[in-house]
Amino acid sequence: MNRLLIIEDEAIILKALTRLLERNHYEVTATTSVEEALDFEPRGFDLVLADLRLPGVPGTEIIAHSDPVPVVIMTSHASVRSAVDAMRAGAIDYIAKPFDHDELLIVIQRSLSQNRMKAQNTALLTDMERLLPSPALLQCTELGVHHQRIKDDTSSEKNYFIAGERGVGREWLARLMHWHGERRNGPFVIADLPLLRHEPIAEKLIGSDEGIDRHGMLHAAHGGTLVIRQPALLGHELQNQLADIFNRRGLNKNRSERVFNIQLILVSDTPFDALVESKKLTPSFAELFSTHHFIIKPLREQHERLDELVNSLIDHHSRRHNVPIKTPDPSAIAAVQAYRWDGNAQELDRSIERAVLAAHGRPIEATDLGLGIVNTDSTATANRDLSLDEYFRFFVLRHQSHLSETELASRLGISRKALWERRQKMGLSRSV
């Protein structure tokens, strides 16, 4: 049941309003002045209904004390001027006395609905912020480089093509582009084409003349960002239609023009140039992204900052889960360096979070990461597929600080020459 606070100094009107609203299932608190209303803490209500002219201060004074609770102003001195002043003061709506009961109920319902939508939008923005990558991933991976490049490009009219393996953070980057752009308060819509392959994709994107999808995702994304996953699944005819829409920034339909203000971002496993060369993208559609396409490298090609990244992620997740921060055991760093990370940055992020929770305040060890390395002995076995190269990298990184090259080779069962050759092949210099 919605709680309403009424401020009205005329006893007859106050009594009538209270009866009317209680009959319509509102919980009502009746007061006769702003000063009296403040004793009931206005922010604890769902809506405040205040007369403009009251003994003492005017009804608009309650607005500052009620935020974010909406305030509807009533007055028997209806005029455009007083309406404008009330709205400028922050009132959500305005109604003139004498008012029709049905009209008042509509104003109250509309104001409550608008406030709920505002609260939902705030909650969605908060949830979207939670889905953004941690600062550690921006500081220590290629994500940060691309993010800064996009932030430095002040134009909001550009469309982007982001390629890379799954898990590198393509969609993270798309969310960052939306979050830090001019369309932040607009919708963020994802068209997941692999899930739509058995449905009429054109209708889902552009809409149809009838049915529940008649408005389409373009309408839903107006004023915001539309992300299309795996654009190679778009038919050539639909690609050309989308190119025409985004070039003209509108859609001609049923003899009317629908204007769109949308940033388009494509997310793909396959690089832009490869799709163009294989003719999976039409020339007109590809032209939308011809100067704004890039590839995010996989994590295994960014080994130089993995130590820093691990420590930053441990710090991030320890703070997030309120766990004491500890320097990781060398075995954990070596395991991270050795692993291929086919799941890339997202897999590493989840592994570190899991390890922080598993260690719960003690230094994280290799076994906490769940990567298959169960101990640091040269005869260790793995509880999941671990390649010989991964184990070699792990063992060398784990023990080179306290074992000589001869001792390392002996523990691995190979000659010093073989050890040196594999080091060269894998880029594992002694200084690593």
Answer yes or no: are the C-beta atoms of 329 and 289 closer than 8 Å.
no
- Note whether residue 343 is domain-resident: yes
On whether both 164 and 111 belong to a single domain, the answer is no
3-state secondary structure of 396: helix
Q: Band the pLDDT of 381: cuts 50, 70, 90.
A: very low
Whether 382 has a pLDDT exceeding 50, the answer reads: no
Tell me the CATH number at 350. Answer: 1.10.8.60
Stretch 63-71: mean pLDDT, rounded?
91
**Which residue would you say has higher pLDDT here, 286 or 260?**
286
Residue 242 is predicted with a pLDDT of 93
Name the region of 25 (left: φ>0; alpha: ψ -120 to 50; beta: rest): left
140-199: pLDDT as tens digits:
888 888 888 877 765 556 899 999 999 999 999 999 888 888 888 888 999 998 887 777
276/256: higher pLDDT: 276
Both 221 and 163 in one domain: the answer is: yes
Residues 314, 418, single domain; the answer is yes
Find the angle CA(278)-CA(178)-CA(189) to the nearest 5 degrees.
Answer: 70
Question: In terms of Cα–Cα distance, which of 388, 368, 369 is closest to 378?
Answer: 388
pLDDT at 211 over 60: no
- Give the Cα separation of 373 and 337 in Å (integer): 12
Amino acid in position 100: D
Model pLDDT, residue 374: 43
Query: Same domain for 101 and 214?
Result: no
Q: Report pLDDT digits (tens) over 318-358.
A: 998 999 988 898 888 888 887 888 889 888 999 999 999 99
- Confirm if 261 and 222 have CB atoms less than 8 A apart: yes
- Tell whether 278 is covered by a domain: yes
Chosen domain end from 75, 93, 126 = 126
DSSP bridge pairs for 163: 268, 295
Across residues 49-58, what is the average pLDDT?
90
Q: Does the pLDDT value for residue 378 go beyond 70?
A: no
Task: Give the contacts of 220 (CB within 8 A, at least 6 positions apart).
Answer: 187, 189
* Whether pLDDT at 379 is above 60: no
How sure is the predictor about 31, in pLDDT bands with cuts at 50, 70 and 90? very high
Same domain flag for 214 and 277: yes
Q: Is residue 352 part of a domain?
A: yes
What is the distance of C-alpha 236 from the center of its chain? 30
What is the torsional sign of CA 16, 20, 23, 29?
Answer: negative
119 lies in the same domain as 135: no
Query: Residues 306, 265: one domain?
Result: no
Q: Considering 245, 269, 295, which residue would you say is the last residue of a domain?
A: 295
> In terms of residues, how long is the chain?
432
Res. 14: pLDDT tops 80: yes
What is the rounded average pLDDT of the residues 221-226? 91
- For residues 208 and 25, which has the higher predicted lDDT (pLDDT)? 25
Number of H helices, E strands in the chain: 20, 12
Let me know if residue 431 belongs to a domain. no
Residue 254: pLDDT over 60: no
Containing structural domain, residue 107: 3-126
pLDDT at residue number 77: 65
CATH number at residue 28: 3.40.50.2300
Cα dihedral value 376, 377, 378, 383, nearest 10: -70
Residue in this structure with the two tokens 């405040």, named with its chain if needed = 48
What pLDDT, on the 0 to 100 scale, is given for residue 37? Answer: 94
Which CATH number goes with the domain that contains 229?
A: 3.40.50.300
pTM summary value: 0.68
pLDDT averaged over the chain?
84
List, as one string, the DSSP characters of 157-174. S--EEEE--TTSSHHHHH
Residues 345 and 286 in one domain: no
- Domain tally for the chain? 3
pLDDT tops 50 at residue 138: yes
Least confident of 151-155, 222-226, 269-273: 151-155
The pLDDT > 90 percentage for the chain reads: 40
If you search the block for the tokens 């002040």, which residue do you land on?
A: 154
Residues 198 and 89 in one domain: no
The 10s digit of each residue's pLDDT in 73-109 is 988 766 667 777 888 889 998 888 888 899 999 999 9
> Same domain, yes or no, for 393 and 273?
no
Q: Greatest CA span in the chain, whole angstroms?
A: 101
What lies within 8 Å, CB to CB, of 286 at 6+ separation is 272, 275, 276
pLDDT of residue 337: 81
Residue 256 pLDDT grade (very low, low, confident, very high; cuts 50, 70, 90): low
Same domain, 390 and 246: no
Confidence of residue 387 (pLDDT cuts 50, 70, 90): low
Is the pLDDT assigned to residue 210 strictly greater than 70? no
| Residue 380, pLDDT score | 42
301: pLDDT strictly greater than 90: no
Q: Which of 279, 295, 311 is the last residue of a domain?
A: 295
Strands (E), 20-156: 27-31, 47-51, 71-75, 93-96
Residue 106 is which amino acid?
I
> Residue 214: what pLDDT?
58
> 10 in a domain, yes or no?
yes
pLDDT of residue 251: 67
Q: Are residues 135 and 122 in the same domain?
A: no
With respect to residue 168, please indicate whether it lies within any of the assigned structural domains. Answer: yes
Cβ neighbours for 41, distance < 8 A, ≥ 6 positions apart: none
pLDDT value for 257: 62
Closest CA to 34 of 3, 78, 69, 66: 66
Instruction: Give the whole-angstrom CA distance, residue 430 versus residue 426.
Output: 12
**CA dihedral in degrees (20, 24, 25, 29; nearest 10)?**
-20
pLDDT at 252: 62
